[in-house]
Amino acid sequence: MADAMNDYVIDPADLVDLGYHTVVVASPDLQGRLVGRRVPAESFDRILRDGVEVCTCVYAWDLTQDLALVEADVFPLCGMHNGVPDVTFRPDLTTLRPAAWLDGIAICLADPWDAAKQQFLPLSPRVILRDQIERFGELGLRAKMGTELEFYLFRNDPRELRQAGFRGLEPTTIVPADFMIHEGNTYEPFFRKLRSDLKASGIEMEAAQSEWGTGQWEMTFRYGDPLEMADRHALYKLAVRDSAAAAGMSATFMAKPLNAGQPGSSCHVHFSVLDADGASAFWDDASPAHLGDRMLSAIGGVLQEVPTFMAWYAPTVNSYRRANSSDVAGWGRTWGLDNRTTSVRVVGHKPEDIRFEFRLPGADTNPYLTLSALLASARQGIEQGIEPPAMTEGNGYESPVDEQVPLHLGEASAAFASSPFARSELGDEVVDHFRILLDHEWRTFLATVNDWDLDRYFDRI
């Protein structure tokens, strides 16, 4: 990763001289949000030596930072039984870079160290991804991955919007504008600054566009090492939110933020593999469409384990509004050649660009976990020579509903927890920890009366 980021990595000895007053030391939580602490730039050498302490509650509370699960003592990691201890965030110096959208602030990603057990925290999404990259490398192969991330942007101040209960959303575009240049020009000053800040922060964007949804936008990133890709993805989301707020606007990465026929927001993942010589491990000159055996086996492994990892690809109740739609958001365990109606879309016409695009995850996915799941599933497919199902030609949505693929978060939680593959890859404590959080989210939803309930039942039942 360091080689790809050399142009952006800051020498810690130069922080103060370069005008940085603060370093953010951060790591992804279980939802993929960056959590951590801010330290004075002149003190960063001490942080390099000792790390920075962060409460384990960041891995135990829910999306809203509700402490009910911590107080209920349901997690071995963190609860009243062990005094809600700390972990130590150890900075990864290869990620120390400008947070160029902020004034005088650098950011360094970190991995949580459990001093009591003398190991990196197995539950950490960044640690999980590191482990899966290492295991994939044992095949003598190197994965390259890239993400395409959509989001909605509204002309509403984020604080005022929450106080108004998210009523009165004013989208930045008001008609479908997929690939349209004029609508993009309207917001070019905002996006030009964002692109410039991202580039200065070591986050290389490949392309950007306005999308079909009203107020919907997309940016794609240059593919690379999976850990570097996940880091860029997490930093990008932070930069978008911060930059939007600074401009008096609000961004959301919900999978399906709007009704009225508006599409969901995706996180498509592109996946290619190189062999030990740096050549494509997916290409075969002699096979139909040049699909090599390892590519077919990787697709077979990924699709076989979709039920296992749906809780990571679609991690919220809202995720399934998109996943169960016809928004070309993937459909069951299907694949095809350049086919957007399937979950796996094979693209590329040359050895250097052949890859598959995994279309199931929404914009709300945790990139570290999604990339980990894909690496683990593809590795199993290659190791075991798993054959994919018959290739879909035509409309994938005409395929029967795959009853093994979860339709909602409750089913996804159960599939994840009951999967022998998940337990062998992650360990029982990690799987059980996620199961508790997923079930909590699902039960919280089921216990809530919302506008849909009132509109549908209030005077009709």
CB 254 within 8 A of CB 169: no
**CA 423 – CA 267 distance, rounded (Å):** 25
- In the chain, what percentage of residues exceed pLDDT 90? 90
Q: Could you give the count of Cα atoms lying within 13 Å of 90 in the half-sphere of its Cβ? A: 13
The phi, psi pair for 196, rounded to 5°, reads -65, -45
Burial of 425 (0-12, 13-18, 19+ CB in 10 A): buried
203 and 103 share one domain: no
Q: Are residues 65 and 207 in the same domain?
A: no
Taking a C-beta distance cutoff of 8 angstroms, is the pair 399, 156 a contact? no
d(CA 269, CA 291): 18
**pTM of the full structure:** 0.96
- 88 found inside a domain: yes
Q: Quick one: tokens of 160?
A: 């005022």
Q: Provide the 8-state DSSP code for 360.
A: -
The verdict on 111 and 51 lying in the same domain is: yes
Residues 313 and 379 in one domain: yes
Question: What is the average pLDDT across 69-82?
Answer: 96
Give the pLDDT of residue 181: 86
Do residue 105 and residue 207 come from a single domain?
no
Q: Is the pLDDT of residue 212 over 50?
A: yes
- Which domain CATH number covers 284? 3.30.590.10
Token pair 């999978």 in the structure block, residue: 255
Cα–Cα dist 368/181, whole Å: 32
**In angstroms, rounded to a whole number, what is the distance separating the alpha carbons of residues 171 and 183?**
12
What is the average pLDDT across 168-172?
96
Instruction: Report the distance separating Cα 33 and Cα 24, nearest Å.
Output: 14
Q: Which of 315, 286, 329 is nearest to 413 (CA)?
A: 315
Q: Using CA atoms, how far apart are residues 355 and 370, in angstroms rounded to an integer?
A: 17
In this prediction, residue 6 carries a pLDDT of 62
Asked if the model's pLDDT at residue 3 lies above 60, the reply is no
10 Å CB burial of residue 342 (0-12, 13-18, 19+) is buried
In a shared domain, residues 306 and 196:
yes
Q: What whole-number distance in Å separates Cα of residue 436 and Cα of residue 432?
A: 6
What is the pLDDT, as a whole number, of residue 443?
A: 97
Whether residue 430 is contained in a domain is answered as no
- Residue of 213, 231, 211, 243 whose CA lies nearest to 221: 231
Q: Which two tokens stand for residue 337?
A: 């050649």
Verify that 142 and 103 share a domain, yes or no.
Answer: no
Which pLDDT score, from 0 to 100, does residue 287 have? 92
As a whole number of angstroms, the distance between CA 218 and CA 205 comes to: 11
Residue 225 lies in a domain: yes
Please indicate, yes or no, if residue 419 is contained in any of the structural domains. no
Q: Output the pLDDT for position 140.
A: 97
The 3-state secondary structure of 335-347 reads EEECCCCCCEEEE
Q: What is the pLDDT of residues 105-141, one digit of tens each?
A: 999 999 999 999 999 999 999 999 999 999 999 999 9
Average pLDDT of the segment spanning 296-321: 98
Residue 57 pLDDT more than 70? Answer: yes
Residue 238 domain-assigned? Answer: yes
pLDDT at 221 over 90: no
- According to DSSP, residue 263 is labeled P
Q: Where are the alpha helices (DSSP H) in 335-407?
A: 367-384
In residues, how long is the chain?
Answer: 461
CATH number for 84: 3.10.20.70
Total structural domains within the chain: 2
Question: With b meaning 16 or more CB within 10 Å and e meaning fewer, what string describes 286-305?
Answer: eeeebbbebbbbbbbbbbbb
177 pLDDT higher than 90:
no
Claim to verify: residue 202 and residue 61 sit in the same structural domain = no
Element housing 93 (H / E): none
- The mean of the pLDDT values for the chain is 95
Could you count the other beta carbons within 10 Å of the beta carbon of residue 196? 12
Inter-CA distances, 387 with 13, 22, 299, 336, 381, Å: 52, 51, 8, 14, 8
Strands (E), 265-418: 267-274, 335-337, 344-347, 355-358
* Backbone torsions φ then ψ of 270, nearest 5 degrees: -95, 135
Query: Do 242 and 316 have their domain in common?
Result: yes
Contacts with 48 (C-beta within 8 Å, 6 or more apart), sequence order: 12, 91, 93
Q: What is the pLDDT of residues 269-279, one digit of tens each?
A: 999 999 999 99
Same domain, 391 and 296: yes
Q: Where does a domain end: 371, 393, 408?
A: 408
Tally Cβ neighbours within 10 Å of residue 176: 15
Using the predicted structure, report yes or no on whether residue 260 has a pLDDT greater than 80. Answer: no
For every residue of 425-459, DSSP letters joined together read: HH-HHHHHHHHHHHHHHHHHHHT---HHHHHHHTT
Residue-wise pLDDT for 327-370, tens only, equals 899 999 999 999 999 999 999 999 999 999 999 999 999 999 99
Q: Which two tokens stand for residue 276?
A: 């030990």
Residue 179 pLDDT grade (very low, low, confident, very high; cuts 50, 70, 90): confident
**Which residue range(s) make up the domain with 31?**
2-119
